[in-house]
Structures are given as structure tokens and as C-alpha cells.
Amino acid sequence: MTFCDKIQIHSIKGRNMYILRLTYSRFSKQRDINTGIVFITLCYYFRDILLSLHGNYVRIERMSPNNTSVLLIYTGGTIGMIENAETGALESFNFEHLQKHVPELQNFTFRIDTYQFDPPMDSSDMDPDAWRKLVRIISDNYNQYTGFVILHGTDTMAYTASALSFMLEGLNKPVILTGSQLPIGVLRTDGKENLLTSIEIATARHPNGRPIVPEVCIFFENHLTRGNRTTKINAENFNAFRSYNYPVLASAGIHIKYNNVQIHTEKVQRELQPHYLLDTNIAILKLFPGIQEKRGGCHSRYKGTESCGAGNLRFGQCSAERVVSPSSAQCLRTRHYHCKRYPMQRRYGRNGAL
């Protein structure tokens, strides 16, 4: 009779994966029973691994609430500002003040570490270098934290969220951006709710230990939306963001209801692959009736146009070579870009312009 007498667990460097190797040998009849009991006991302990033995590698990531932790990155924005009593102007203040104004942070039973941009940035100053910095912070600390919360000004939060979603390839943990319309020290601030719920979402896990939202998202005014689908729509209301063409990923009321079907999860668990190279020759060129090429209407140096309706543009408007694509649809509610539906689209397609 054959039993395994050696079970080895190998960690594959940097991959957080394990192989269970069973080594077989022959045993005498007498020892078979004892070894069988040992084997069954070990099977019980390693049942997760054994259940997944149909593949070569098994990812084990069972985190108990004890090893939950969040990295809170404060980049700047209204959420961390305070009103100067003399001038009435909003000024950035130190992150410790933020904690002082949100004593509820102490109620979380897990570790919350912080990283502060120094000096804090108004989000209108955000640029690819700041995105790279965020990607670097996340990837350097990726294995230490359950999730990441980024406090960010609302003006360009959607751009940062979108950029990060492409720069963090293979992301398998929540990266939640949030901010507020009113500074956190102000009585009616929306910042507290946004911050506390974002932390909750960043640490939310399924019973099997997997994060519920392993995506780059924006949480604002009770809604969690996909980062690269979200647009700022309002500078006055608390409800400042909207996800066009994609459902919200979660709604926060008394309970946080996750829209699990719409949340992206990687089928095959991959290593995080951070990207730092960005093509900055991209601009949105809004095409409108009468736009003049000579007046700098169509600059071939830049890529990306916003065209009419579902992606139409007047054929004579710009020479085909100068309209560099892909062209996006003007209509925010359009679900698909109908590349070949209209004659002019087919013409541009033939010319290689779209």
C-alpha cells in the first residue's frame, strides 16, 4: 500500500503561491493504519490546498481579521483642508489634524498606516509623476496591506483613478479613492462618511478571504464606482461623481450592498505589475461643427478625439491622417462605439484614421 510520508510546502519567491508536494513510499501493514490517520489529519489541515490540486499552484491567502491593515494615502484636496480664520481661504493641514477630526478612526480594530504627500497637492496639480508616485507607494507596500485608500481632491480624482486602473495591472486588492466637498473640520462635512466607508470597503472580504472589490474605485456620497468609468459632475452637491455606462459597484446605506456581478475579479490570480511609462501625447480634442484645422483644431501630435453622437465625425472636417484615433463618442450614455455603423465611420476606418 502506498502512502505519502512527506509533505512539503514550497513558497515560490515573490508569487505568494505554494505547491504541495507528496512523496510516496511503501509501508509495512502495521504502520499503514497509523500513517493513514496522520495522512487524513494532514489532509484536513491542508484541505484548501488539496481541493485545488487540479492546478499546479495554489494560492493561499487566508487573512484573519488580525492581519487586516490599510494604507491611507493623503495626497491633498478639500478633505484635508482647514479654513484660515483671518482670510477665509482653505489651507492644507497636517495629516495628524485629519485624525484628530475623525476620532472614529480609532474604532477600527485593525492597523491603519498613513502616508502623506508633502506638501499636499491640490488635485489640479496632479500629473503623471504624481500617478507614478502613487503606483510606487502601492506596489512597494502591496504585500503589507489588505487594501489602500487614497484621499484626493475631487477635481481630478476621476483622472487619477482612471490612470491607476491601467497602471496597476493584475491588481488584486482594493484601491479606493475618496475626498470630500466640505473640509473634514466643517460641521456638515461629507468627508467623514466618505473616509470611514472607504476604509470599510478597502478591508471587506468574502468568507474565503478574497477581497470583495479588487479594483481601483471611487467612493463618494454612498456610491462605489469603477475608477475608469467615473466623471465629476458637480462642484456644489455632495453627490459629485457619476458612473456613466457602468453600474455602481456598491451602495452604502445601513449596510454596504456590493454588486458582486459587476465587480471585476481576476480569474487567474496574478502578480501585481506596476506600469510607469505613460504616453503624454494624449489630449481630448472635442470636435464640433465648423472646427478649423488651421486654427489648431486637429493636431496630429495628440491622440484622441471626442466626436459626435456614437462616434461620428464629418469626413471633410479634418484630413483623415490628421484625425488620430481612437475617437470616443460624445454621448456619455453611449454604451458602445459603433465603429462601422455610419458611412463616414466606414470611410475613416478604410483610411486607417479610426
Radius of gyration, CA atoms only, the chain: 26
Residue pair 80/184 in contact by the 8 Å Cβ criterion: yes
Q: 231 catalytic, yes or no?
A: no
How much of the chain is helix, strand and coil, in % rounded to 5? 30, 25, 45
Residue whose CB is less far from ligand ASP, 77 or 147: 77
Q: How far is the CB of 188 from ligand ASP (least distance, A)?
A: 15
Residue whose CB is less far from ligand ASP, 78 or 165: 78
Of the residues 147, 179, 214, 227, which one makes contact with ligand ASP according to CB under 6 A: 179
Which residues from 57-116 bind ligand ASP, rule CB under 6 A?
Answer: 76-78
Closest CB to ligand ASP: residue number: 153
Which residues from 215-274 bind ligand ASP, rule CB under 6 A?
Answer: none
By DSSP bridging, strand 69-74 and strand 168-169 are unpaired
Q: Which amino acid is at 270?
A: R
123 in contact with ligand ASP (CB under 6 A) = yes
122 in contact with ligand ASP (CB under 6 A) = yes
The crossing angle, in degrees rounded to 10, of helices 157-167 and 128-140 is: 50
Q: How far is the CB of 12 from ligand ASP (least distance, A)?
A: 42
194 in contact with ligand ASP (CB under 6 A) = no
Which residues from 282-341 bind ligand ASP, rule CB under 6 A?
Answer: none
How far is residue 5 from each of residues 31, 33, 34, 39, 252, measured CA to CA in Å?
11, 13, 11, 8, 51
Residue pair 230/218 in contact by the 8 Å Cβ criterion: yes
Choice among 68, 78, 154, 178 that is catalytic: 78
Q: Binding residues for ligand ASP, per CB under 6 A? A: 76-78, 122-124, 153-155, 179, 181
Residues noted as catalytic: 78
